[in-house]
Amino acid sequence: MSDELFEYAPAPESRSVVRIEDSYGLFIDGEFVSAKQTFPTIDPATEEVLAEVSEAGAEEVDLAVDAARTAFERVWGPMPGRERAKYLYRIARIIQERSRELAVLESIDNGKPIRETRDFDLPQVAAHFFHYAGWADKLEHAGYGTTPIGVAGQIIPWNFPLLMLAWKIAPALACGNTVVLKPAETTPLTALAFAEICRQADLPPGVVNIVTGGPETGRLLVEHPGVDKIAFTGSTEVGRRIARAVAGTGKRLGLELGGKGANIVFDDAPLDQAVEGVVNSIFFNQGQVCCAGSRLLVQESVAEELLTRLKERMATLRVGDPLDKNTDVGAINSAVQLATIGELVASGEAEGAERWSLECELPERGFWFAPTIFTGVAQSHRVAREEIFGPVLSVLTFRTPAEAVEKANNTPYGLSAGVWTEKGSRILSMAQKLRAGVVWANTFNQFDPASPFGGYKESGFGREGGRHGLEAYLAR
Ligand code: NAD
């Protein structure tokens, strides 16, 4: 429909369903405690300062680990699984009850569209707590023993703040561990809202502790001698640093790191569905997804047709206010991330790939990047090799299935892949050959708490989700 006939009417979600405090303390031993240092958290769509948040230093990390240790030894570790389950079910129900508020808060602090926080993040968060609540009294049937590890230090990134918290906290608690969790410095607010939920659920003090702060707080947690396990989700570079710090200490370690997923479209694929899948694989959450299909491998005979349809579909994407229910692509999470995307896109142009960006009006303030595709990409280009973590797709072509496998696996990462074809036998044979933790067939970015998720190679090790996710939190 042309613009003359149709005047756009925004459908903004209300900000009034959330109350953001001027400042926040750390959540230690069931209480909110202020630290000496604070840092601001901002709304990436407006650059407005939302709140001052406490930065945990050595003293506060000590307090949090001590509280977790005491709670583990005296209360949570000895508690029967069926009792722990009651708390987890209660938390899951409160999350459902408060999901509108949490979705709005996540969109404001992270920049992701309300449609995604409302329809993806929050339902998944609640589902994870329900799933692991169900395991708490059935651990002996999972095959990994029933003995918890102890105190888990958990460090998470900013792309799915509350969902990454759920992936970490739900299985840890179900198995009888206590936790000290550090959210990312740009997205602390939903973790602090979760702290309130722990109080609302009467969770015993010290079972969950939240220490906000940046890399230094993370380092203090990783190196703390009172922590029995480190669970980290974030960049491969920081993951390497953490692996070095933990080596030889006897601490258990789980790493969920970056990715450079290949979405492979064969010439027999239903092209319109494949286009939807490609859009979902790279523009969902502004492409800030570890398992994003950031490399499109398309069979040469349908490449032109697919790209034409993809551009037509991209022209309908609405970029802008994350709280508008019509928005498809929201704000990039931070100025730093925006600069990283800009630098990699510039490298793509300099190396000779052809750039096409959606023409759209971007808000004046805030951090924005128009959905972009690169064609004529060679394997050696940085845009084909490095994780961009933004709404940028690199398109490569192939002629044979063998070439598709070779190109897809030609990456240091191994987290995700997609295969689009009408042949079931081809799906199975591709899935066996692709070195990726998850392979989606004729779909992309599907998640379920019952299904394990994790990587090969530089995408990390260990699995989160499902029965397999319990292994990371049990000492056998
Ligand atoms: P990041 O590695 O910069 O930061 C992640 C977390 O680690 C943050 O909380 C940060 O404060 C903390 N941190 C930074 N330096 C640290 C240090 N030296 N010691 C301890 N903690 C430290 O990553 P990011 O930019 O926040 O997140 C994006 C990355 O996360 C991407 O590479 C993405 O692929 C990855 N990711 C992976 C998964 C997965 O399941 N595999 C899921 C989501 C995101």
Q: pLDDT value at position 476?
A: 74
Phi first, then psi: give them for residue 155, nearest 5 degrees.
Answer: -125, 125
Q: Mutation test of ligand 1: which of 112, 124, 257, 282 has the most ligand atoms closer than 8 Å to its C-beta?
A: 257
| Catalytic machinery residues | 256, 290
Rounded to an integer, the average pLDDT of 96-103 is: 98
From ligand 1's centre to the CA of 156, what distance in Å? Answer: 6
Mean pLDDT across 275-279: 98
Share in percent of the chain as helix, strand, coil (round to 5):
40, 20, 40
Most ligand 1 atoms within 8 A of CB, residue of 167, 238, 338 to mutate: 238
**Residue 16 DSSP label:** G
Q: For domain 262-441, which CATH number applies: 3.20.20.70, 3.40.309.10, 3.40.1190.10, 3.40.50.720?
A: 3.40.309.10
> What confidence category does residue 3 fall into, taking pLDDT thresholds of 50, 70 and 90?
low
d(CA 49, CA 61): 25
Residues 423-431, mean pLDDT to the nearest whole number: 97
SS (HEC) of 171-208? HHHHCCCEEEEECCCCCCHHHHHHHHHHHHCCCCCCCE
Confirm or reject: Cβ of 455 under 6 Å from ligand 1.
yes
For the chain, the domains span 15-257+459-475, 262-441
pLDDT tens sequence across 335-375: 999 999 999 999 999 999 999 999 999 999 999 999 999 99
Q: Is there an atom of ligand 1 within 6 Å of 109 CB?
A: no
Q: What is the pLDDT of residues 222-236, one digit of tens each?
A: 999 999 999 999 999
pLDDT of 2 above 70: no
> Does the beta carbon of 238 lie inside 6 Å of ligand 1?
yes
Residue 380 has pLDDT above 90, yes or no: yes
The pLDDT, as a whole number, for residue 364 is 94
Beta carbons of 465 and 167 less than 8 angstroms apart: yes
Residue of 447, 53, 434 lying closest to 261 (CA atoms): 434
Q: Are strands 295-299 and 460-461 parallel, antiparallel or unpaired?
A: unpaired
The set of residues, in sequence order, having a beta carbon less than 8 Å from that of 244 and lying 6+ positions away, is none
Instruction: Give the C-alpha separation, 116 to 287, whole Å.
Output: 13
Residue with tokens 């229910």: 325
Strands across the sheet with 252-256, in order?
31-33, 26-28, 208-210, 178-182, 151-155, 229-233, 252-256, 460-461
Residue indicated by tokens 């394990």: 452
Structure tokens at 159: 């792309």
pLDDT tens digits, one per residue of 181-220: 999 999 999 999 999 999 999 999 999 999 999 999 999 9
- The domain covering 15-257+459-475 belongs, at the CATH homologous superfamily level, to Aldehyde Dehydrogenase; Chain A, domain 1 (3.40.605.10)
Alpha carbons 37 and 57: distance in angstroms, whole number? 8
pLDDT digits (tens, 9 = 90+) for 382-426: 999 999 999 999 999 999 999 999 999 999 999 999 999 999 999
For residue range 133-142, what is the model confidence (pLDDT) as tens digits?
A: 999 999 999 9
